Structure 1
Amino acid sequence: MEHEFERRRLFLGGGPVWHSTWPPGRVEPNRRIYDYELVYFANGSGRIITGERVYECSTGSAIIIPPGLVHCTVGVTQLERWCIHFDWFGDCGAHRDNPKAEDVFVYNDDPAPYREELAAKDPELPGVSFPVFRETVPQEILLFLRRYFLPESKGVGGMLMRQGVLMQILGLVLRGEEPEAAQTPESGKLFFKAKNLIDARYLDGGLRVAGVAAEFQITANHLTKLFHAALGMSVMDYIQTRRVDYSRKLLLESNLTVREVAFASGFNDPNYFTRFFQQKTGMTPSRFRREWEIRFDGNEA
């Protein structure tokens, strides 16, 4: 029997939200989320890439990403995004106990596995399949987004008003028309698999472009072309960028020396690590750590 949508079943649960800008060229590691995420692109252009499709997003675009879908976001130009995590029935296990942003997703290289039992349920909306993508939604969505991002009023009334605003936002997205899906070529799927492999192994100092290409039975040159087309950078640039991102975390959160950080981040040459880090951040690793410590000490004073 065809599923009949019962509106009374919905009891939208709210998760973390953020409104932020991304620099051009930023590439997110592949990840999965436990809830649903609505992303509205207020300015700029970028891509959301899955194993099956590339969603080309520009000013006014919106997408609803479901739980469990491996995906990443790429900033083509500088991006301004509004992001809302939610579920349809208040049943997402990751939303309990005032979740932080990092509680609702798992990167593919995280040591902790993705826990299916925490994922939000599919609302089985008639005529709707996720991800939901709209090239353009009405600009009035910004009015509701700004309201939703205000501090929540206390009490049942405040909760219901907030749910109402979220329903308005989702309604504006869902009532639009899905653009005709462009067929993702096999090369796009191949790129995503290769990126997934790199996201899992980038800390291995022996990882080589030729080795990654060999796993997929293609040439290193062909793999590099795939990465340039999708990310605007070479395979090795992507590997080294992931390593630099990880090294920042070690510089801020550990007592390792710069040399030890270099090796722990997958660099085989500490001097090259310092040069590459400076190229990417505008400062040496030592200065990066020192400026953070000065800023932290100033905030503690």
Structure 2
Amino acid sequence: MRKKIKAELVNPRINLLWAGWWKPGYVEQGRYLYDHELVVFTSGKSRVVVGEQAFTCSRGDILIIPPGVRHWTRALDERVERYCFHFDWVHGLPEVRPPFVYEAAGRYVRSCCKRTPKWLSIKMPLYSPGISLQRLLQFLHPLTKCDNSPEGVLRQRGLFLQLLAELLSGTGGKGRKPRGGKSLRLVQSLKQRIESDYRLPLSMNSMAAEFKVTPVHMARAFRTHVGMSPLEYVHRLRLEEACRLLSSSAMNVSEVAMSVGFDDANYFSRLFRKKMGMSPSSVVGNP
């Protein structure tokens, strides 16, 4: 009975819907939300930092950002397309316009912050990688076309509930977990592990043993949902951090290589040139 009552309390309201794109390298400055923001990434890759947590989000990834926590986003090396939904979990809460404040403005009113309801046992920020984009687009495109008529508002609410259900329950629209559900959880855990420790020596065999899977299964699942191997993902994060250090610090190329996890500066330079299309030394002092 208790679960039924809680389910009836979930009555989300969309406050703002935005769909658009960012060019490579664009940085959205730090800001604070008054409501929750659900972001669906449909192309490109972004680095999203929420409080002390960092996520590399790509095609098919969904992230719910909670209110009251500083976050910022950077588009990486591709055009980034995404859908953003500012929403409240329940109706009846006061609307705040706009639903966020940029850090530079310095006028965030914490008393207006609409936090996650305590009865909703979801840990925030909520990140779910690699959901089928084809399935997500069944909700996303119609959501952007709903008008303000009673019928349009009702349709928008129904579609958004379906989108939340897709994210929270992992069902494929048929009331059961889709194939690959365990793989999705594995990939999510593995991505978080890599994002936390990519500067450290990482053995693919050791990580596979840590997650109690074979290296082949781990690599196949990761490539299916992320589009690259775990090692390629480690290299991507290391090179992104290397770019930042080379352009903004006084460290030389060898020091940067060691700092981001490469023991061999020559290998680092070859990989950097191959992936970035330029030498590490050409980035020094060029933010």
TM-score, with structure 1 as normaliser: 0.56
CA change 1:143–1:136 in 2 (3 A) is same
The residue aligned with 1:65 is 65
The residue aligned with 1:116 is 110
Q: Which amino acid aligns with 1:234?
A: S
CA change 1:126–1:16 in 2 (3 A) is closer
Task: Say if 2:150 is the partner of 1:148.
Answer: no
Answer whether contact 1:228 1:234 (CA < 8 A) is retained.
no
The residue aligned with 1:86 is 87
CA–CA distance in structure 2, aligned partners of residues 51 and 233 of structure 1? 24
The residue aligned with 1:293 is none
The residue aligned with 2:40 is 40
Which consecutive unaligned segments of at least 5 residues does structure 1 have?
A: 188-224, 237-278, 281-301
CA–CA distance in structure 2, aligned partners of residues 17 and 10 of structure 1? 19
The residue aligned with 1:105 is 100
CA–CA distance in structure 1, aligned partners of residues 239 and 109 of structure 2? 31
CA–CA distance in structure 1, aligned partners of residues 119 and 156 of structure 2? 21
Q: Which amino acid aligns with 2:63?
A: I
CA–CA distance in structure 1, aligned partners of residues 138 and 8 of structure 2? 26
Instruction: Report how far residue 70 of structure 1 moved.
Output: 0.9
Instruction: Report how far residue 8 of structure 1 moved.
Output: 1.2
Alignment of 1:87-236 (within 5 A): 87-93=88-94, 95=95, 99=97, 103-112=98-107, 114-124=108-118, 127-139=121-133, 140-155=135-150, 157-176=151-170, 178=185, 179-180=188-189, 181-182=192-193, 184=196, 228-229=241-242, 234-235=247-248
Q: Percent identity, aligned pairs only?
A: 28
Instruction: Report how far residue 159 of structure 1 moved.
Output: 2.7
CA change 1:92–1:115 in 2 (3 A) is farther
Instruction: Report how far residue 154 of structure 1 moved.
Output: 1.4
The residue aligned with 1:25 is 25
Answer whether contact 2:23 2:79 (CA < 8 A) is retained.
yes
CA–CA distance in structure 1, aligned partners of residues 15 and 132 of structure 2? 24
The residue aligned with 1:253 is none
Q: Secondary structure at the match of 1:42?
A: strand
CA–CA distance in structure 2, aligned partners of residues 59 and 43 of structure 1? 5
CA change 1:83–1:133 in 2 (3 A) is same
Q: Which amino acid aligns with 2:91?
A: G
Answer whether contact 1:44 1:59 (CA < 8 A) is retained.
yes
Answer whether contact 1:22 1:80 (CA < 8 A) is retained.
yes
Q: Which amino acid aligns with 1:154?
A: S
Answer whether contact 2:146 2:155 (CA < 8 A) is retained.
no
Answer whether contact 1:227 1:235 (CA < 8 A) is retained.
no
CA change 1:127–1:118 in 2 (3 A) is closer
Q: Secondary structure at the match of 2:28?
A: coil
The residue aligned with 2:220 is none
1:39-95 CA deviation, whole Å, 9 max, x = no partner?
A: 1110111111133221011111110111111111110121011111111112443x3
Instruction: Report how far residue 186 of structure 1 moved.
Output: 12
Answer whether contact 2:146 2:156 (CA < 8 A) is retained.
no
User: How many aligned residue pairs are there?
Assistant: 192
Answer whether contact 1:48 1:54 (CA < 8 A) is retained.
yes
Q: Which amino acid aligns with 2:196?
A: T
CA–CA distance in structure 2, aligned partners of residues 233 and 91 of structure 1? 50
Across the aligned residues of Structure 1 and Structure 2, the Cα RMSD in angstroms comes to: 3.1
